[in-house]
Amino acid sequence: MPRLTTVVSIPLFLSLLAAMAIGNLPAHSQEGASTDHASPAPDGEALFRKHCLTCHRSSGKSEGPLLSSLQQMGGDQVVTSMTAGKMMAEAADLSTDEIFAVANYLTAGSGAAKKAMPPEAFCKAQGISTDVSTAAVSVNGWGVDLKSTRFQPDSTITKANVENLELAWVFALPDVADARSQAVVTEDTVFVGAISGGIYALDRGTGCIKWQHDTGTTLRTPASLGKAGDQTALFIGDMRANIYAVNAHTGEPMWSRYVGHSPASTTTGAPVPFSDESGDRLFVPLSAFGVVLATNPEYECCKSHGAVLALDASNGEILWTTHMTKEAVPTYKSSQGVQQWGPSGAPVWTTPTIDVARNLLYVGTGENTSSPATQSSDAIVAMDMTTGALRWTFQGTQRDAWNMACGRRKGPNCPEENGPDFDFGAAAILATHSSGKEIVVAGQKSGEVHAIDPDTGRKIWQNRVSPGSALGGVHWGITVAGDRVFVPIADPPFPRPGYVPNPGVFALDLLTGEMLWEHKAERGCELDMAALRQADNPWPECPFQFTFSAAPMSNAELVFAAALNGKVYAFAADTGEILWQDHTVKEYESVNGLDAHGGSIDNAGVQLAGDMLFLQSGYSLFGQMPGNALMAYRVKSSP
């Protein structure tokens, strides 16, 4: 296991996380310190105000989650972010005591200790079977199928009955303010991971708990279901670039594997299992958060980069690794005299797509995080499934080297290119037109949708649906149903000269890229920015964000998309007419007895399974609305 930070040793970090799992955070803990003459504990509130408040305000517009959103999190999530996650740079000068003082301040009275599930939340206590069947799987991973179409053929929700969707149950994800791990759904079980570390197998009909497993880490990726030797496993990744395999029937851990190559390595896209005559394999995308660490002027930016790995799914052994850039070497010194490194970046945020006939994997990459810019950034990359050898690369945006030092307060680690940050964050789709023609379709944060020849990597067509931005364009995904491509656009409503956002949901012709219909996103309420800045409420009546960032999902007649204002919609696939909607920003009575609240819907969006619809509501990053609700809807039976 790699060193997590220059401040916290791994044994101390793990022991303190273990302490948090069973009780409150320690008021004072210092490795090797005498308890006879312990110095006073640091002032967590004062440290937070000094180091964190600029980006985590108590109200109004904020670069990171609002203070009120942070206070919804568990202590381990806060500590992990500061020691092994996105806040490493900001916490680099803090001692162990100070890190935990900040965490204590944020979580005291709001879940510093992990919330225990009440006994009545378990199926066994309710007399409900705890058996798990994986014979019929509706959603076995991010893309639903190996081609990542996010098209659900087994959905029985139609134009005729969608208006009868009603809420069946809500499960409260414990100790979180963000819901980001897409559920896996079988005929009788819903599997879901929480970023606080828990994996839960829930009864599909009632939401009661069949089994739970605590990984003791911050889970980050969607889950996937697949074969691991003679067992069926649930695969998931964490913030520290570890991949876990858990027995899907019992919740017992099978193996874990560190797949990073740098302290800034992490996993974001789902690991994808695949079985054939060669055995059971697991394809793992590797991303990196050097883009965040670069905000520290003393950080030597940047050495981490994206990669794709193939693992033996039965034991986690690494079979091959394909790196998205060469190893970084010293380049020049910043204006602060700090050594810069490159190339770096080109993280693989996306879930791999599998082309069985061509024996190819397709992944999307993000921007370079330091100079020099490379041809592998902002690209769709095809590689051989057997060896990892690169076949072709399609680059959407050239010379895009960027990191978070390039913000409003431009720092010395901003690369000379100072690019637009136009990642491919959405999985590429291998789509088949009714004519039989196969096309790789990919959406980009530039607002462009690209159609690519899967044999050569050459462009077939391109449609720029919106101007895009670092937080705009296509974020988490697109979906293809028949001969239509459905594209959510996340363009935020930031006032900026020359920027005309075009958020909404759009349908394009698969063969030509022609626009077929469009739904323009509207706030639908009167925004009062002065009141918003003053309010201490993570769930304002009229939120600033209202666009479509989450990945959509479709069936034969409908496309489902969800928005950052907490609303979820069903559109007619042929016309774009809204046929059903719900607003999830509210309190719910959960089936597991913990407080549940909906918020912004981002990341995974909707999952369809038979007559049911699942979604997770709550996402506090970028000043959005926190929440922890896993919601299950069902088509109401006729009387």
pLDDT in tens, 189-234: 999 999 889 999 999 999 999 999 999 888 999 999 999 999 999 9
> In terms of DSSP H, where are the helices of 37-172?
44-51, 67-70, 75-84, 96-107, 123-126
Residue ranges with strand state E in 421-482 = 429-432, 438-443, 448-452, 459-464, 479-481
Q: How many residues does the chain have?
A: 639
110 falls in which pLDDT band (50, 70, 90)? Answer: very low
What is the residue extent of each domain of the chain?
A: 10-31+40-107
Cis bond leading into 372, ω under 30°?
Answer: yes
Question: If you average pLDDT over residues 87-116, what whole number do you get?
Answer: 65
Question: If you average pLDDT over residues 490-510, what whole number do you get?
Answer: 95
Question: If you average pLDDT over residues 526-547, what whole number do you get?
Answer: 86
With residue 293 as reference, give the H or E element that holds it. helix 290-293
pLDDT of 531 over the 90 cut? no
3-state secondary structure of 589: strand
Distance CA 385, CA 283 (A): 9
> In terms of DSSP H, where are the helices of 467-607?
529-534
Backbone angles phi, psi at 78, to 5 degrees: -65, -45
Q: What is the dihedral of CA 161, 162, 163, 166, to 10 degrees?
A: 110
pLDDT of 456 over the 80 cut? yes
The proportion of the chain whose per-residue pLDDT surpasses 70, expressed as a percent, equals 87
Q: What is the pLDDT of residue 29?
A: 31
pLDDT of 86 over the 90 cut? no
Distance CA 488, CA 472 (A): 10
pLDDT of 502 over the 90 cut? yes
Instruction: Output 34 or 601, whichever has higher pLDDT.
Output: 601
pLDDT of 36 over the 50 cut? no
Mean pLDDT, the chain, rounded, equals 88
Q: What is the pLDDT of residue 37?
A: 38
- Provide the CATH number for the domain formed by 10-31+40-107 in this structure: 1.10.760.10
Instruction: Output 178 or 287, whichever has higher pLDDT.
Output: 287
Question: Which among 30, 51, 154, 189 has a CA at the least distance from the CA of 96?
Answer: 30
